[in-house]
Amino acid sequence: MFNTRGSQYLTLTGLRFDANLGILEQEKRAPQPIQVDAELNLGTQPLLPSDDDINHVLDYRKVRQIIIAECTAEHVNLLESLIGKLAHRLMLLPGVVGVRV
């Protein structure tokens, strides 16, 4: 039916929650509000899935869960460290060939 292929990106923007982040004493005592935007490059894929089944595509809910879990697991001093950990976890998802956080 449709066999057109193209670059696929999954983008989540404006994901807001409290994270354990910062170098200041008050940041270490209590979670800080943050906002995360993430773009996952899924490479070249059919533009239309072979079926309409969530089990055959990357589920946005899974990506959201990973982002929140990684950002709330433990205190991290530097935003750069948190971004690195987050990017590493997201790159482990099936089909992901690149990440921008």
Share of the chain above pLDDT 90, in %: 77
List, for residues 5-20, the tens digit of each pLDDT value.
788 999 999 999 999 9
pLDDT of 92 strictly over 80 = yes
- Cα 94 off chain centre by: 13
* CATH number corresponding to 5-100: 3.30.1130.10
* Confidence tier at 3 by pLDDT (50, 70, 90): low
Question: What are the sequence ranges of the domains in the chain?
Answer: 5-100
**Residue 101 to residues 79, 84, 85: CA-CA distances in angstroms?**
11, 9, 11
- Measured between alpha carbons, how far is 88 from 51 in angstroms, rounded to an integer? 29
pTM of the model: 0.86
